[in-house]
Structure formats: structure tokens, C-alpha cells
Amino acid sequence: MPLPSLGRLGSRTNLKAVSPGRHRNAVKTAEDQVAEDKELTSYLAALAPDADADPGSTGTGKRFGEAQVYQLRMNLIASQQLKDIANERDISPQALAQEWILERLSWEGQAASAQDRRHSDAMTDEFQFPSDTFDEPLAGRR
């Protein structure tokens, strides 16, 4: 036999909201109302993905498809040197670092494919003697 609930009404569906307090019908003053923060609103609007503006957008806020962000830590001298060179070229240090990394990756890819070609060429059955090997007579033979 179930025990009766002492602190509740007879039905669980008849629950009522907790009273907000004795001043629930008091008129709210202008001080009590939350003022809209225009700076925060514009910041959040700038972060929100704009579906109409960018046709290449994925709609999830990822405007660069499968791009990934890497963090780069440099010593103070290298960081200052990067900033100085970027300033001379009138671009941001981030753009300069990205350009250099992409150029280096391209160069590494070309070097690797050239090395693969040299390695495959060296794996032939043909043996090549240097051209000046048989020009001089052997010393000590008569």
C-alpha cells in the first residue's frame, strides 16, 4: 500500500509555479529593465554566419571548408623579425607566415617528387662508368 504524500497536493499534475515574491504586481522601473548592449549585439552579429553573403559558406560558420587553425609559438626575436618584414610588405604577420608555410610545403612536395624520380632512375640494371676512368694507364704495370 503506497504511503500518502504529506507535502504535496493530491495530484502531481496540479503543481503550481513558485510565487516570485510579494512585489510581483509592482511596476518595474527603468533601472530594473535590462538595457540593450549595442556593442555586444554588434559583436555577436559579426560572429554569426551570414548565409546570403558568402555562397562558399558551409552554413555552420566554417567559411573555409576543411581548413584547420594552427597556433605558432616563436621566440621574441623571430616574432619581431616577422612583424618587421610583414610591415615592409604591407601585410599582416599572420598572412606572411601563412604564405611562407604554403610556399615551403609546395617546395617540399616538389623536392620529394624529384627525389622519388632520381631514386627510381638509380634503380636500373645499367651501370655507368665515369668517363675519365680508363683514360690513364695503371701505375706499376708494364
pLDDT tens, position by position, for the chain (142 residues)? 666 666 655 555 555 666 656 665 666 655 555 667 888 888 888 887 665 555 555 555 556 678 888 898 999 999 999 999 999 999 999 999 999 999 999 999 888 888 777 766 666 667 677 777 777 777 765 5
Q: Is 92 domain-assigned? A: yes
Q: Is 91 domain-assigned? A: yes
DSSP character at residue 58: -
Q: Is 62 domain-assigned? A: no
Where in the sequence is the domain holding 114, given as residue range(s)?
A: 73-122
Q: Is 100 domain-assigned? A: yes
User: At 119, which amino acid appears?
Assistant: H
Q: Is 26 domain-assigned? A: no
Given its phi and psi angles, is residue 11 left (phi above 0), alpha (psi -120 to 50 degrees) or beta?
beta
The number of residues in the chain equals: 142
Cell of 19: 510565487
Q: Is 78 domain-assigned? A: yes
Q: What is d(CA 115, CA 118) in angstroms, rounded to the nearest whole number? A: 5
Phi and psi at 57, nearest 5°, equal -75, 145
Q: Is 57 domain-assigned? A: no
pLDDT in tens, 80-112: 999 999 999 999 999 999 999 999 999 998 888
Q: What is d(CA 5, CA 73) in angstroms, rounded to the nearest whole number? A: 64
User: CA torsion 64→70→71→72, rounded to 10°?
Assistant: -120
Q: What is d(CA 97, CA 81) in angstroms, rounded to the nearest whole number? A: 11
Q: Is 110 domain-assigned? A: yes
pTM: 0.39
User: At 71, which amino acid appears?
Assistant: Q
Total structural domains within the chain: 1
